[in-house]
Amino acid sequence: MRGMERADGETGQLVEAIYDAAADPAGWSPVMAGIGRIFRTRAETFYYLGYADRAFTPVHIAGIDAARQAAFPEIFYTPDNPCTRSDPLHRPGALRTDERLAEFFGDPHVLRRSTYYNEWMRPQRLDHTMGTSFAAGDGLILNLSLLRGADVGTFDMGEFRRFAGIVRHMDRALRMAARLETLTAGRALVCDALDHLPYGVAFAEPDGRLVQCNARAEALLRRGSPSAAATADRSSSAPPGSPRGATACRPSGRC
């Protein structure tokens, strides 16, 4: 009973960290560390993969040294690697294990005969894998792969189910991160457009506190009195289509 409570506690902390990472990309490192502890892995890899141009961009790699990371793209894309010939197992949301790969090909030794296994996995004492993929756009997928040694053994059904639950949270968090990135990019475009206006634009709270202004308004404020500008005269007209709360700063410096 205590073991189950501890497992639930570990998963709860991990899920919280996953959603934190949606707002801060640096948060994926503690997420991967938490996943490694839960699943007793020797290595955790989280990376963008592009099959068309053999792209490989790490997000977080743990347990793999720099030389092996550099060699990964060349060895991974060798013709006999079953991982590059099993598209259904690499669709976003699909979960894969050694057993599922063997079942897909009808060959229990398909992975262990490959160059990828013998020249990359086995020298690092990595014998068993479990992973999934997430949609990334631009012809890329975002791969999560957990690898561990023969001493720990294959991933069992309980671990598979637990991993499936964690992956659902990761998928939601990654979608949230994509939306946040879109909003941030949109805000940057708006700010850039405002900075190119020939007049100043300032955004103020109802009580007169200045929230934000464009470059022209900032220059006007620097020339005038910041305290007077912060308590802007709302009678000044804003340009057509300006957001509510926007005030046009006249060339005289008076808002």
Cα dist from 6 to 3, 16, 34, 166, whole Å: 5, 15, 13, 16
CATH level 2 (architecture), domain 2-185: 2-Layer Sandwich (3.30)
Q: How far apart are CA 183 and CA 114, in angstroms?
A: 44
pLDDT of residue 188: 64
Q: Which secondary-structure segment (H or E) carries 87?
A: none
Q: How far apart are CA 190 and CA 201, in angstroms?
A: 12
Q: Tokens 């340009």 appear where?
A: 239
Do residues 202 and 246 lie in contact, with contact meaning Cβ atoms separated by under 8 Å? yes
The CA-CA-CA angle for residues 99, 103, 104, to 5°, reads 120
Domain ranges within the chain, ordered by starting residue? 2-185, 198-249
Each of the 255 residues of the chain gets a pLDDT tens digit; together they read: 444 456 667 888 999 999 998 888 889 999 999 999 999 999 999 999 888 888 889 999 999 999 999 999 899 999 999 999 999 998 999 999 999 999 999 999 999 999 999 999 999 999 999 999 998 877 889 999 999 999 999 999 999 999 999 999 999 999 888 777 665 555 666 677 777 777 787 878 888 787 778 888 888 878 874 543 444 443 333 334 444 444 444 333 333
Give the relative orientation of helices 28-39 and 157-195 as an angle to the nearest 10 degrees. 180
pTM of the model: 0.69
Do residues 252 and 224 lie in contact, with contact meaning Cβ atoms separated by under 8 Å? no
Q: How far apart are CA 187 and CA 149, in angstroms?
A: 47
Q: How far apart are CA 197 and CA 251, in angstroms?
A: 12
